[in-house]
């Protein structure tokens, strides 16, 4: 299985903050793997909220490749790096990296492919031109 | 991003059952992406419970590559195919496929790499010999 | 704090089934308390799906009083008793009891008050007459 | 059903902060009721972390009575008031109030009874004397 393609931190310009919850730990005493999907989702939404000043962006997650680097904990402040890697016609890819702020330790990295869709018809649609321009300005794509 | 390597259904010998919950849907009215991680986890645990007649198996998820094929729903019975693909020294890979039983539709497929570890020291350790034999008998590895 | 008013099992006519998940356990190794809210919700939806043959019923949870009787576990089949206790003009009360099927042990009991509302205006509204008749026939209210 | 006994805000001396997540909303577009249990739990742990400078306190939730005051949202900063109301021999009661910081609106209030237990034997045990003194100093009990 190929590792996710995640640029080094210096090239990930956007950083979201999130807090893990005590109940995010499972009975192995570590952050349950499903919680990372929520952390990446929070970063993705913060990235677009920051760019677009709207609270919602109509995309669906099409694929994600996640590498678990070190065991995570509940009750921690984390920073999630987020960058857009490629902008296609109807889809784009992003990369994420979750870092525990207290220890500086990376917990997980991921790559994801998102598809733009029309929520009224559920059909794929091209990425809006203005979004394309804004993302290009942010991440140089 | 490479697609996960998931064999065709006929070659996936183990099938777990699970039920999605109403609250598994997010405000887009579809199964939230994090829930799929839980469904794969349920299948993985059922697979080892079936093989080993023990309720727990000391492994950690090291990587997973998930392809979201169609929007899932809450309140549905699903079948999750599960097979071991490769057995290494301290890690092994598995594949999963979630299918909605009512419609027969595939919702997601994934590949995962799991690492055996010693819960007292948290160090990696070789896959136990008896487990290796049992998995080989099940999935021909 | 008053205990929830939950009739004895013989007087609770409806029973839903649900399965707890491995990740429903928290790092104390027991079913996290929030999961019980989900189990009661699953029972409530099953109760109305059974009565109304529709998948959704526009109500909001207004209050719930939950008694945790014994520690619950993940990976268990549970039965959830559900009955309507009182039907008011715009709200009604229900009672729930979660029982582990393997051991017969009661894990939790709860009482809840639900309010009917109009999802387009978000205003309270009277319980529909046909629903009133159907619930009365089921639970003798 | 009796309402939970929750003192007015001026008498609730401890305040925890938490952030709701986008996926905490269910398909009705509001914070799912189970999430409130997690918010109360976060406040409870912060209260004891603040008092005891330890990360864990061995108690179990025995009962909780929750009043849902207004629909909550994901992606919001909330403040959770927390106070201990009564200290018994082996159990104590607390009150909580969740307030959306952006709007000042109260979303939910709750009362809870917690039981001290010995995690090695799972038996109830008296509240430790030093904890009793610390809580009394904080909340005048």
Q: Which residue of D has its CA nearest to C58?
A: D28
Give the total residue count for chain A.
Answer: 141
A35 touches chain C (CB under 8 A): no
Nearest CA to D81 among D57, D101, D58? D101
Rounded to a whole number, what is the distance in angstroms from the first to the last CA of chain D? Answer: 27
Neighbouring chains of B at 3+ CB pairs under 8 Å are A, C, D
| Mutation for C interface: B20, B42, B54, B76, most C CBs within 10 A | B42
Euclidean distance between CA atoms C106 and C100, whole angstroms: 6
User: Shortest Cα distance from C58 to chain D (angstroms)?
Assistant: 9
Cα distances from C95 to residues B22, D35, D107, in angstroms, run: 19, 20, 23
- A91-100 and B91-100 strand pairing: unpaired
pTM of the model: 0.95
Q: What is the ipTM of this complex?
A: 0.94
Per the CB < 8 A criterion, the answer to whether A117 and A95 are in contact is no
- In D72-130, beta strands by DSSP E: 77-87, 91-100, 106-116
Cβ-count burial of C48 within 10 angstroms (0-12 exposed, 13-18 middle, 19+ buried)? buried
Which structure tokens are listed for D94? 């607390």
Chain C touched by A75 (CB under 8 Å) = no
Distance from CA of C130 to the nearest CA of B (A): 24
Phi-psi region of C140 (alpha: psi -120 to 50; beta: other; left: phi over 0): left
Q: Which residues of chain B have pLDDT under 70?
A: 53-57
Tell me what pLDDT residue C131 has: 83
pLDDT in tens, C46-58: 998 888 765 556 7
Asked if residues A84 and A44 have their Cβ atoms less than 8 Å apart, the reply is: no
pLDDT for A113 equals 98
- C45 vs D: CB within 8 A: no
What is the per-residue pLDDT for B119?
A: 75
Contact D34, C38 (CB under 8 A): yes
Arithmetic mean of pLDDT over chain A? 92
Using alpha carbons, list the distances in angstroms from residue B47 to A60, B35, B82, B98. 30, 18, 7, 14
Residues of chain C with pLDDT under 50: none
Chains that touch A (3 or more CB pairs under 8 A): B, C, D
φ and ψ at residue D50, rounded to 5 degrees: -65, -40
User: Contact A1/B63, CB-based, under 8 Å?
Assistant: yes
Closest-approach residue (CA) in chain A for B118:
A28
Chain D nearest CA to A13, separation (Å): 21
C18 touches chain B (CB under 8 A): yes
Nearest to C41 among B18, B19, B22 (CB): B22
Single out the residue of D45, D43, D68 nearest to residue D56, CA to CA: D45
Could you tell me what percent of chain C has a pLDDT over 90?
74
Q: Is there a contact between A25 and C27 if contact means CB atoms under 8 Å apart?
A: yes
Alpha carbon D36 to chain centroid distance? 9
CB atoms C1 and D93 under 8 Å: yes
Q: How far apart are CA B57 and CA B64, in angstroms?
A: 18
In angstroms, the CA C141 to CA C129 distance is 13
Q: Which chains touch D (3 or more CB pairs under 8 A)?
A: A, B, C
Mutate: best of A27, A73, A76, partner C, most C CBs <10 A = A27
Tell me the shortest Cα–Cα distance from A22 to chain C, in angstroms.
Answer: 8
User: Which of B17, B22, B47 should we substitute to test contact with C (largest number of C Cβ atoms within 10 Å)?
Assistant: B22
Specify whether the CB–CB gap between C19 and B39 falls below 8 A: no
**pLDDT tens, residue by residue, D55-102:** 556 789 999 999 999 999 999 999 999 999 999 999 999 999 999 999
Residue D109 burial by Cβ neighbours in a 10 Å radius (0-12, 13-18, 19+) = buried
Distance from C-alpha of C105 to C-alpha of C116, rounded to nearest angstrom: 33
Cβ separation C26–A29 shorter than 8 A? no
Tell me what pLDDT residue D65 has. 98
Q: Which CATH number fits domain C9-139: 3.40.50.1980, 3.10.129.10, 3.30.70.1230, 3.40.1350.10?
A: 3.10.129.10
Report pLDDT for D100: 98
Helix-then-strand count for chain A, H and E: 2, 5
């Amino acid at each position: 299985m190929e590792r996710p393609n995640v640029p080094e931190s210096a090239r990930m310009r956007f950083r979201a903050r999130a807090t893990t919850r005590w109940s995010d730990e499972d009975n192995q005493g570590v952050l349950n793997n499903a919680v990372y999907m929520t952390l990446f989702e929070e970063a993705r939404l913060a990235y677009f909220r920051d760019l677009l000043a709207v609270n919602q962006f109509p995309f669906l997650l099409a694929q994600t490749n996640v590498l678990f680097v070190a065991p995570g904990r509940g009750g921690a402040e984390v920073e999630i790096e987020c960058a857009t890697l490629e902008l296609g016609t109807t889809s784009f890819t992003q990369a994420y990296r979750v870092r525990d702020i207290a220890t500086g330790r990376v917990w997980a990295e991921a790559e994801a492919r998102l598809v733009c869709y029309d929520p009224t018809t559920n059909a794929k649609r091209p990425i809006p031109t203005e979004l394309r321009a804004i993302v290009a300005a942010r991440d140089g794509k």
